[in-house]
Structure 1
Amino acid sequence: MNLKKSLVAVTLLFSALILASCGNSSNTSSSSNSKNGTSTSSTKSGSYQVTGQTNSSQYAGVIKNGKYLTSKSRGVTVSQSSGNLMNLKSFEAGLQDISKNEFSTSKYIFQEGQYLSSDTVKNWLGRKSKSNADGLNPASNGSTTPTGRNPIYLQSMEEQDYVQKSGSKLKLSGITIGLAMNSVDYYRKTTYGAEYQTNISDATLEKEGKAMAKEVLARLRKKKGLENIPIVIAVYKQASNDSLVGGNFVSYSINKGNSIEKWKALDIKNVVFPLKSDESAPNSNDSDAFSNFKSEVENFFPNLSGVTAQAQYKNGSLQGMNVSVTTQFYSETEINSFTQFLADQAEKYLPSGVKIDITVSSTTDGVQSFLSRSSTAKSFSTHVFESY
């Protein structure tokens, strides 16, 4: 795979993530935000750039002294023998979608978490013990049986900060915290032994998550600068390691005081098409539409390794679909013809009124073409990646 295709593949892999640049909220300065570029201002303590917005539904970000300021705790997680990459992608992207309910993209600027350090999060994710009084996961009860042991409920945490311009500075105006809860806790009785698992019911998962949210809020309120700002806490259900889709958020709470306020339930479901024999989609018409699309595509070209789609539903309504087509093509003329055919068939068969992305990849040569249609468009825009 050449360099261009490698870069494109990485870009598409993380297209579901909503990532933005960030900066420290203390001793900062900023000039007016620009939608199509960056704006910069400086103080004795440093320089900040406010990025432009690609569209009004996304946040502008902050860069400090020309460098990307990473989260102090992103990626900290309880060690598991294996994992599901889709969990991380849907966790981060979904958390920012929840943030938009409280922190408007037109009024707030996004920065990655700066108040919870890596060590702090590690301690909070650990089991409660004599050596770790801050552990949010329950102490071990000594049992190693799947149903008798105390499982690890909390797998990871995510902090997202939201700032606003205040004169010549950026002022922290809100925080969102995501709690990623295990639906299955994987463990080993010995270091290199067999893997076992403890299944956690939805009711238990949500109960434990809400209890931890109460404690997290209390701890955050004790930190300087976080005493009075709105704090959103959301509970996320991780999918199992063998799932082809990520998990989903189940509830969140917007808190302006010292105690957890009303929880808001979320009805979000991720599915993979084609469905397994024992599965059903919230809307059977979507499953039938994809089946028809898949059939037409497979009949057009015999050199296909697979046609699948990941779809998300909210309150039973389809929100979007990411289609993956894996080929064995080697001819660029074939790829061009196939991409044109895909656009026609997708417009004909796939659901309208929702965003749809289609990625065509080779088993040996990476991403070959990409098709996309916004929720308001009728036709697909296409791009075929040529070799040079």
Structure 2
Amino acid sequence: MARFKKITMLIGGVAMAALLAACGNIGSSTGGGTTSTDSNQAGVQTTGQISKSEYAGVIKNGHYLTSSARGLTATTMNNNFNLTSFEGGLLNISKQFYDPANYIFQEGQYLSSSTLRGWLGRKSKNNPNGLNPKDNGKKDNSRNPIYVQSIEEQDFMQKNGDSLALKGITIGIAMNAVDYYQKEQYGATFKQNISKAAMQEYGNKVAAQVVERLRKTSGIPSDLPIVVAMYVQAPTDSLAGGTFYQSTQTKNAAIGTWNNLDIVNKVFPLIGASMKDFANNDSKSFQNFQSQIENFFPTISDITAQAQYLDQKIQGEHVTITTQFYSQTEIISFTNFVAQVAPKFLPSGVPVDITINSANGIQAFLSRDSNDRNFESHVFTSY
């Protein structure tokens, strides 16, 4: 059985299986963890690191310390690509400020599920802390849309003797570019487009409110570094998730200058793209890979890839192959073939993973780190 290296990729819509987000809405919490804000109690340990580029996690009283607020969303209209890319992408942004070699990752413990439910709701007499605008009663495009879809907290700790001390927080705020709504319960779903300018303006105001509220939260020092990262959700029918468009770090109550992030998701093969598209060469290489696979094994149903670019440079690629294989020997032979062909056509110098699926679920998985040429693989057996 091959040994796997965990790859944390900023792939819009995938962000690796290890970072899969729980899906919930403001009416229910899917995290199911403790809301305690005290990490300096007896029984606190860490998971250790599998590589220098990944964080150690927090274990408390023998259990991984989870967050009760993880995965909460303002509405149920979402897709798994957004959920996974939001969490995974946020962790990658955190690494730019909190080096995994010096910090320990802790699931958010300061924003409880009840707090976030209120924040993600509309502002009203009964919910004065709502970050989304009041309902103006309209049922068309003149309605006040839901701007803020989700908020994610990540805590970063350092050892302080035999305990852990909070040294930084990252907050991700997911904004809607499209708000889906119903005019009546169980009725048809309509969509309201939100302009980029309106989304960013509203998002900046929300970010300032969130930071101000965090500064007043018990257990958070007034001068604690807080990273804020703004994310725009992809439409529900998108084959790739959304992207982070700006970030900043503040050590006081005010938010300073935002850093714009030029992040773009692409789905291969590109359809209808111009020859000048910066991802065109990568798409052609993927199509050559696709042809090799389909010619050798005619029982392939579909091959697609999702890639993410930062400043027009590819950061990683996630390939999904759907097959109609049934026998174990076919799956093994196919996985071996993919491992031989992939290095010739898929991008080098960045993390790449390949998932081989069937109607029965995942059949095999291949991965390669940015420093490797060859792929490690594992075939999932039925025993």
Query: When the two structures are superposed, what TM-score results if normalisation uses the length of structure 2?
Result: 0.88
Shift of 1:154: 0.1
SS of 2:154's partner is strand
Q: In structure 2, which of residues 17, 21, 24 is the aligned counterpart of residue 14 of structure 1?
A: 17
Task: Please list every run of at least 4 consecutive aligned residues from structure 1 whose deviation after the TM superposition is greater than 4 angstroms.
Answer: 16-19, 21-25, 278-281
Checking the alignment, whether the CA contact within 8 Å between 2:36 and 2:110 is kept in structure 1 is: no
Give the equivalent residue in structure 2 for 1:224.
218
Cα distance in 2 for partners of 1:92, 1:279 equals 31
Give the equivalent residue in structure 1 for 2:180.
186
Cα distance in 2 for partners of 1:267, 1:12 equals 18
> Per the alignment, do residues 106 and 22 of structure 1 end up closer, same or farther by CA in structure 2, a change over 3 Å counting?
farther
| 1:295 matches 2:296 | no
> Per the alignment, do residues 67 and 116 of structure 1 end up closer, same or farther by CA in structure 2, a change over 3 Å counting?
same
Give the equivalent residue in structure 1 for 2:147.
153
Correspondences of 1:54-93 after superposition (within 5 Å): 54-80=50-76, 82-93=77-88
Q: In structure 2, which of residues 283, 295, 320 is the aligned counterpart of residue 324 of structure 1?
A: 320
Cα distance in 1 for partners of 2:270, 2:90 equals 26
Correspondences of 1:31-110 after superposition (within 5 Å): 45-80=41-76, 82-110=77-105
> Per the alignment, do residues 124 and 25 of structure 1 end up closer, same or farther by CA in structure 2, a change over 3 Å counting?
closer
Checking the alignment, whether the CA contact within 8 Å between 2:353 and 2:365 is kept in structure 1 is: yes
Cα distance in 1 for partners of 2:184, 2:268 equals 38
Cα distance in 2 for partners of 1:75, 1:103 equals 22
Over aligned residues, Cα RMSD in angstroms? 2.2
Shift of 1:264: 0.7
Checking the alignment, whether the CA contact within 8 Å between 2:15 and 2:88 is kept in structure 1 is: no
Which letter maps to 2:247? Y
> Per the alignment, do residues 92 and 78 of structure 1 end up closer, same or farther by CA in structure 2, a change over 3 Å counting?
same
Cα distance in 2 for partners of 1:230, 1:203 equals 28
Count of aligned pairs between the two proteins: 358
Greater mean deviation of Cα atoms: 331-340 or 206-215: 331-340
Give the equivalent residue in structure 1 for 2:204.
210
| 1:309 matches 2:312 | no
Checking the alignment, whether the CA contact within 8 Å between 2:55 and 2:103 is kept in structure 1 is: yes
Q: In structure 1, which of residues 262, 265, 278 is the aligned counterpart of residue 257 of structure 2?
A: 262
Give the equivalent residue in structure 2 for 1:352.
348
Cα distance in 2 for partners of 1:186, 1:385 equals 38
Which letter maps to 1:250? Y
Shift of 1:135: 1.0
Which letter maps to 2:282? D
Which letter maps to 1:220? L
SS of 1:142's partner is coil
| 1:366 matches 2:378 | no
Give the equivalent residue in structure 2 for 1:379.
374
Uncovered stretches (5+) of structure 2, i.e. residues with no partner: 1-13, 23-32
> Per the alignment, do residues 158 and 188 of structure 1 end up closer, same or farther by CA in structure 2, a change over 3 Å counting?
same
SS of 1:336's partner is helix
Residues 307-360 of structure 1 show CA distances to partners (whole Å, capped at 9, x for unaligned) of 111111111011111111111112222222222221222111122211111111
Greater mean deviation of Cα atoms: 330-339 or 255-264: 330-339
Give the equivalent residue in structure 2 for 1:246.
241
Which letter maps to 2:153? E
Q: In structure 1, which of residues 128, 141, 144 is the aligned counterpart of residue 139 of structure 2?
A: 144
Checking the alignment, whether the CA contact within 8 Å between 1:50 and 1:61 is kept in structure 2 is: yes
Residues 181-215 of structure 1 show CA distances to partners (whole Å, capped at 9, x for unaligned) of 01110000100111111111222222211110011
Which letter maps to 1:164? Q
Checking the alignment, whether the CA contact within 8 Å between 1:25 and 1:163 is kept in structure 2 is: no
Q: In structure 1, which of residues 248, 269, 272 is the aligned counterpart of residue 267 of structure 2?
A: 272
Cα distance in 2 for partners of 1:282, 1:182 equals 26
Q: What is the percentage of aligned positions where both structures have the same residue?
A: 52
Give the equivalent residue in structure 2 for 1:168.
162
Of the two structures, which has the highest relative contact order with CA contacts closer than 8 Å and spacing of 6 or more?
A: 2
Uncovered stretches (5+) of structure 1, i.e. residues with no partner: 1-10, 29-44
Query: When the two structures are superposed, what TM-score results if normalisation uses the length of structure 1?
Result: 0.87
Cα distance in 1 for partners of 2:195, 2:371 equals 38
Checking the alignment, whether the CA contact within 8 Å between 1:137 and 1:152 is kept in structure 2 is: yes
| 1:196 matches 2:199 | no
Shift of 1:98: 1.0
Shift of 1:25: 5.5
Cα distance in 1 for partners of 2:100, 2:34 equals 14
> Per the alignment, do residues 290 and 128 of structure 1 end up closer, same or farther by CA in structure 2, a change over 3 Å counting?
same
Residues 107-137 of structure 1 show CA distances to partners (whole Å, capped at 9, x for unaligned) of 1111111111111111111111122111111
Greater mean deviation of Cα atoms: 342-351 or 87-96: 342-351
SS of 2:64's partner is coil
| 1:121 matches 2:116 | yes
> Per the alignment, do residues 27 and 122 of structure 1 end up closer, same or farther by CA in structure 2, a change over 3 Å counting?
closer
**Which protein has the larger Cα radius of gyration, Structure 1 or Structure 2?**
1
Which letter maps to 2:166? L
